């Protein structure tokens, strides 16, 4: 299995989403995190399954939520660059 590295900015993206959903209802936060972990697991199992959206960056969308996990592959390491809402400018992920 591939190693996983999550950039600090991606953790910040996740925290922003969690903070937003916490204001809505905590059960939504739990569902978001559950789906996020599932999708990260899917990426780890087969990181090349998902198409490149720009240059070498791939995106896996989180089922049931308007967020994409933006990541790159470096040898045997998956580097998560960003977890962005689909309405945000995707160039943010490119610059990371």
Residue spans per domain, the chain: 3-95
Q: Which two tokens stand for residue 52?
A: 């490149």
Confidence of residue 54 (pLDDT cuts 50, 70, 90): confident
Mean pLDDT of 33-55: 94
**CA separation for the pair 12, 46 (Å, rounded):** 25
pTM for the model stands at 0.88
Compute the mean pLDDT over every residue in the chain, rounded to the nearest whole number: 91
Percent of the chain with pLDDT over 90: 78
pLDDT of 94 above 60: no
Architecture of domain 3-95: 2-Layer Sandwich (3.30)
Q: How far is CA 20 from CA 16, 24, 25, 36, 85, in A?
A: 6, 7, 9, 15, 12
For the cut 80, the answer to whether the pLDDT of residue 53 exceeds it is yes
């Amino acid at each position: 299995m591939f190693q996983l590295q999550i950039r600090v900015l991606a953790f910040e993206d996740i925290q922003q989403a969690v903070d937003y959903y916490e204001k809505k209802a905590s059960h939504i936060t739990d569902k978001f995190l559950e789906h996020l972990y599932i999708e990260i697991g899917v990426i780890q199992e087969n990181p090349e399954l998902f198409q490149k959206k720009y240059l070498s960056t791939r995106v896996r969308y989180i089922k049931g939520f308007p967020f994409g996990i933006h990541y790159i592959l470096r040898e045997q390491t998956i580097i998560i660059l960003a977890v962005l809402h689909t309405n945000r400018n995707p160039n943010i992920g490119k610059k990371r």
